């Protein structure tokens, strides 16, 4: 019996040590896993957050998909669902509490806040630091300036901003606006449309411009702010409701902290980010990769950090909209956006 007692003592001591340190080891393991974007502590509950896109998933949205895929949102305590908008767009859904955050545009935020009744949405981050859109056409159409719009057919989606942009640029170039024909082509593919139905269209270079390069389809591209600095506006932006900002500013800060990490990763690692987007959306990898590389230099551009919005851009475009009869009254642009919730 004496020998048996001696033999059991190391086993008992070992069991005591295991029972003492196992909870700490388990917790440390879960914590480390969480920090690396892996599974969080099993019993930790995550707050469900809905992000409403402005369109189908594309490289404008990559930072959001990266933040979800790599666990940045989970680290801040969120489970994020990404959905596509209804016909009304993201601003309507956010104002109606159908989502916490949305992807919108400076002009949409302007219209929303001037609506009757106003939609209390606010921009909290610029996805891209400067406007990367413009009018594009096949090189054989020989459209190199707004003056060349004369006698041509423009294909758009029926927005009053399109007509105002074409008119303003043509008038600035001493061109006759009455000589351009404007037709609605909806969501038709750019390359297909300018080969069959129209002469030029309004595109984001980071998507349709890159797609044209990949497919060897040569285009002329007229970047908007190259002709008028006042139309360098924010497109797209991340929005939320004023109610959420007032009631739960810390939640907004945490969301933007994780989202900022996602976009900063997309800036530094465009190839891996492109693969994450392709994994989460049915997109052409051959276009996504070069598009991602292009936008990696555009997300932050000359700003000190990702997401910052410049008052001058809000002021200039608000005045431009007023001068071009897109809005009927002066716009309080200072309350339409904030940088204060960014990390």
> Where do the structural domains in the chain lie, given as residue ranges?
47-130+234-335, 133-231
Q: What is the pLDDT of residue 88?
A: 66
Listed residue (63, 12, 5) closest to 306, CA to CA: 63
Fold match between domain 47-130+234-335 and domain 133-231: yes
166: left (phi over 0), alpha (psi -120 to 50) or beta: alpha
Instruction: Please say whether the beta carbons of 112 and 332 come within 8 A.
Output: no
Listed residue (153, 303, 112, 288) closest to 211, CA to CA: 288
Q: What is the pLDDT of residue 85?
A: 86
Instruction: Please say whether the beta carbons of 207 and 295 come within 8 A.
Output: no
Enumerate residues 6+ apart whose C-beta is below 8 A from 170.
146, 147, 149, 150, 176, 177, 180
pLDDT in tens, the chain (343 residues): 333 333 333 333 333 333 333 333 343 344 333 333 344 444 469 999 999 999 899 999 999 999 999 999 999 999 999 999 876 689 999 999 999 999 999 999 999 999 999 999 999 999 999 999 999 999 999 999 999 999 999 999 888 999 999 999 999 999 999 999 999 998 889 999 999 999 999 999 999 999 999 999 999 999 999 999 999 999 999 999 999 999 999 999 999 999 999 999 999 999 999 999 999 998 999 999 999 999 999 999 999 999 999 999 999 999 999 999 999 999 999 999 999 999 9
Three-class DSSP category at 203: strand
Neighbours of 8 (CB within 10 A): 10
Listed residue (161, 69, 126, 125) closest to 256, CA to CA: 125
Three-class DSSP category at 130: coil
Cα 109 to Cα 333: distance, rounded to the nearest angstrom: 9
Query: What does CATH list as the number for 47-130+234-335?
Result: 3.40.190.10
Q: What is the pLDDT of residue 186?
A: 87
Q: What is the pLDDT of residue 89?
A: 83
Cα 138 to Cα 23: distance, rounded to the nearest angstrom: 66
Q: What is the pLDDT of residue 86?
A: 77
* Domain 133-231 indexed as CATH 3.10.290.10: no
């Amino acid at each position: 019996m004496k020998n048996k007692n001696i033999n059991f003592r190391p086993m008992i001591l070992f069991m005591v040590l295991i029972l003492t340190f196992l909870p700490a080891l388990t917790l440390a393991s879960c914590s480390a896993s969480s920090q690396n974007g892996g599974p969080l502590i099993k019993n930790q509950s995550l707050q469900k957050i809905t992000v409403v896109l402005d369109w189908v998933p594309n490289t404008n949205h990559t930072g959001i998909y990266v933040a979800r895929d790599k666990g940045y949102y989970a680290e801040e305590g969120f489970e994020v669902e990404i959905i596509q908008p209804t016909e009304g767009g993201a601003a309507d859904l956010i104002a109606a509490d159908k989502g916490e955050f949305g992807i919108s545009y400076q002009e949409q935020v302007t219209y929303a806040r001037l609506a009757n009744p106003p939609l209390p949405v606010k921009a909290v981050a610029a996805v891209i630091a400067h406007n990367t859109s413009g009018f594009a056409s096949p090189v054989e159409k020989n459209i190199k300036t707004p003056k060349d719009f004369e006698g041509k057919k423009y294909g758009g989606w029926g927005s009053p901003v399109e007509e105002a942009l074409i008119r303003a640029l043509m008038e600035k170039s001493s061109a006759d606006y009455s000589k351009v024909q404007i037709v609605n082509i909806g969501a038709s593919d750019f390359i297909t449309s300018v080969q069959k139905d129209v002469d030029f269209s309004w595109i984001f270079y980071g998507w349709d411009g890159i797609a044209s390069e990949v497919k060897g389809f040569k285009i002329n591209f007229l970047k908007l702010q190259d002709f008028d600095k006042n139309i360098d506006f924010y497109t797209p932006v991340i929005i939320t409701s004023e109610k959420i900002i007032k009631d739960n500013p810390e939640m907004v800060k945490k969301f933007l902290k994780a989202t900022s990490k996602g976009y900063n990763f997309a800036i530094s690692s465009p190839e891996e980010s492109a693969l994450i987007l392709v994994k989460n959306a049915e997109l052409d990898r051959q276009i996504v990769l070069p598009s991602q590389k292009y936008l990696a230099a555009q997300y932050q551009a000359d700003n000190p950090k990702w997401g910052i919005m410049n008052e001058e851009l809000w002021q200039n475009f608000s005045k431009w909209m007023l001068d071009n009869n897109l809005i009927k009254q002066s716009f309080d642009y200072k309350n339409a956006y904030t940088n204060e919730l960014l990390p």
